[in-house]
Structure 1
């Protein structure tokens, strides 16, 4: 790698803003995130803002060994009553809103919240029909923020051990759920203020009301939490469908394609879906090169839910098979993490690492919806930015930490194996095996119905227009051509 890196991120092209983070930490898996965000809530003085795809008042953020603890609804009531100057605002996507009122305990907490002047809970329907509010953002006093893939909700909590039988991994009604892998980024400083601007815009769009202005705050970084990064510049990338007077934003898609074009050695992805024809075509074009980068994707074996399996899994089969036709050197791999008893771990994380010079964490998936329909927000640390020249060793360490978790080995062991073999894929292959590990994804065939749904992107359209008329306008073949042409232009400029 050259000693002088050129940034991949560029404000106005593939990101919204680039702002300074005094401190930043990648929080891996919800048990870690919930533990530290609960402490941040306790320290809040003026504002707690939460925007999410889902939200559940009934969960404990820091459960004991029996899965018991103060519920989120009770925590916010306690904070609101003990700190009358603290305003708590929660914005949840409106899908499933009625389901909230079928849960007596959830209704009880919401009723108590509605009677509390400084708690405001709203549903977000400020998007075209068929789109969703998918950002997962927490803002505290506009000087501390979290942005990533973890909703503060039911069926998300898990530790990085992903044990087969962990009684703490239980829903509020006592039902045990399976292992769940996820990530988010905690940041302090000016970047939190920028995300606060984004939060204010979203709240106004959804509620037609303004959030109260707050006074500048000091350092609210949680005591005892060591930062991964200090004094770094963080790029913020967004997706937004056109709605009323708000124009379409596709920064997230542009950044994915720019990252794929820029990679020299490897890209490591963790993602829930892989159904974007544009992104797949960009990868396929790179695989045609004489010395292509290694690209590893860690994801679930199947999508969550019958309908999503029909759409997402079938599209993934077609795209992975198409990439395989161009992958002469076997440098593209898709892996599935499993537990010690060989049960699937559901991957909900949205992480990307390019050449250990760029780290991306957010809410966006490698599907069409995240590129143009759903509201998304990702944060990026790019070593090409002058302030970030010191970050590659940290990004390397975090990538090793993520992969080692899946392989059930120490990060140091993976680092030694990768250095000895000169290849991320070769190191994974050498270390994966029985017990908790990574399985290669098997590409199973699909029926005629699944093939039709996938080929026409019926449940995963690229735009609002395609959603309204998917069969005539939104096709997997069309998005593949667009991605291929885009990556050829990008590579031609380098």
Structure 2
């Protein structure tokens, strides 16, 4: 098991070579919540490009509308926008890298294949599928870099079913799929924008990934553009940002598990609370780190915001029983009542799907990225997270802004004002008590209860194939002994006990 190391509690957690790749300065950094804002801001940034645009992602859908209110001459949709930029910005080259396995989806996306064919004939647009990973792994980063002067990195895919506003309105007619126009569920997500040397570091990472995937070595842009959109207010200025990665061992490339190490070290550093939003809660390593802290008489609280269930059938069959079992194990360790998992709902009680990957520790650390709290994001998939620690020498005073964003996030989920969250936390001194005080009817957070896995889920749990932690010697998904291997045995014992009682 990965262990946190003894550390000076006044020292910052990110440490290159241990739990992050690099720490670089950003003149501006901003947390962007939900895709309505992100898509619009990304469009504005790409229109300001002078040399290079890198789009690195799990999925791209060329049909999505980035800004339905755009009044400029450039197109609103992603695919036509890229074509327009290539035509009207003669010095700009655009490189798009997408995970290869899901490429079959392109066949059902209307005119997408015709657009890709036109891009193939362009000298300024390059589209590539990323197959440089072990069997069962995915390329999961969500990155856009413009001229190395602005980078977006987080959890928002530029694809269908992601667009939503922070109001998450019931029946919002703008929340519809391309072509069919069918409505989809409310969706909560987040990403981070950085400029300066931090953006250049993400540019380096994106170009490295392009080359690993079989592309040519891309030039480093040397332009003095400022693609930062005027509408985007910086949460932080002149700060140090850490970049952490996950990459599975594959061919000549070694395994990188910085994201896992950073999670464990952040949990070990917590003194008051850990607040996390994530699509899953299924990592054995993270659960073990939390359990150790819950057993302490004066340890931190943990408030986690998850969706009510995973998006797809396969994901739910893998992650649902894992979360339930982890919750039961942590309930045994939580003798002091400091652990909660909640799920957000709309005013009419409809589930809001949580896809964001945000972690805040003691208002000292803000972390945003692509990594889920599951096994595969710790060692199998290709991930990238950003972290800002207020204890870093260049980040003095950042804790106030981190606290403001935490209050803002909880206010969105609880349908209250950020000031209400701040006041309740100041009075109670407890994140759990704050949420419980402000929870109400309508749009709110509801407690997640562990479910009882089915026979099929037990069988999947025994195999541990859908959420492995790494690739084995033959490049096949491989799980380390732990949570799910014992899940089947515990469930069988539990059922025999009920039958005999």
Distance in 2 separating the partners of 1:272 and 1:418: 25
Is the contact made by 2:303 and 2:340 (CA closer than 8 Å) also made in structure 1? yes
Matched residue SS, 2:318: helix
Number of the residue aligned with 1:46: 51
Equivalent positions of 1:471-482 (< 5 A) are 474-476=481-483
Number of the residue aligned with 2:110: 104
Asked whether 1:257 is paired with 2:245, we answer: no
Is the contact made by 1:278 and 1:479 (CA closer than 8 Å) also made in structure 2? no
Asked whether 1:56 is paired with 2:61, we answer: yes
Once the two structures are TM-superposed, the CA of residue 218 in structure 1 deviates from its matched residue by 4.2
- Residues 418-470 of structure 1, C-alpha deviation per residue, up to 9 Å, x if partnerless? 11111111111011111000000021111233134235422111111298475
Change (3 A) 1:98 1:452: closer
Cα RMSD between the aligned structures? 1.8
Is the contact made by 2:48 and 2:225 (CA closer than 8 Å) also made in structure 1? no
Number of the residue aligned with 1:79: 85
Is the contact made by 2:264 and 2:289 (CA closer than 8 Å) also made in structure 1? yes
**Normalising by structure 1, what TM-score?**
0.93
Distance in 2 separating the partners of 1:87 and 1:257: 39
Q: Runs of at least 4 residues of structure 1 off by over 6 A?
A: 477-480
Equivalent positions of 1:28-427 (< 5 A) are 28-64=33-69, 70-173=76-179, 174-427=181-434
Q: Which runs of 5+ in 2 are unaligned?
A: 1-7, 488-501
Distance in 2 separating the partners of 1:222 and 1:272: 28
**Normalising by structure 2, what TM-score?**
0.92
Q: Which runs of 5+ in 1 are unaligned?
A: 481-494
Is the contact made by 1:315 and 1:455 (CA closer than 8 Å) also made in structure 2? no
Matched residue SS, 1:272: coil
Once the two structures are TM-superposed, the CA of residue 410 in structure 1 deviates from its matched residue by 0.7
Once the two structures are TM-superposed, the CA of residue 117 in structure 1 deviates from its matched residue by 1.5
- Residues 203-239 of structure 1, C-alpha deviation per residue, up to 9 Å, x if partnerless? 0011241113321424332113211000000000000
Number of the residue aligned with 1:486: none
Distance in 1 separating the partners of 2:478 and 2:249: 18
Distance in 1 separating the partners of 2:462 and 2:297: 30
Distance in 2 separating the partners of 1:474 and 1:419: 42
Is the contact made by 2:34 and 2:188 (CA closer than 8 Å) also made in structure 1? yes
Once the two structures are TM-superposed, the CA of residue 366 in structure 1 deviates from its matched residue by 0.6
Number of the residue aligned with 2:499: none
Once the two structures are TM-superposed, the CA of residue 358 in structure 1 deviates from its matched residue by 0.2
Distance in 1 separating the partners of 2:225 and 2:213: 29
Change (3 A) 1:242 1:186: same
Number of the residue aligned with 1:10: 15
Once the two structures are TM-superposed, the CA of residue 114 in structure 1 deviates from its matched residue by 2.0
Asked whether 1:429 is paired with 2:436, we answer: yes
Matched residue SS, 1:161: coil
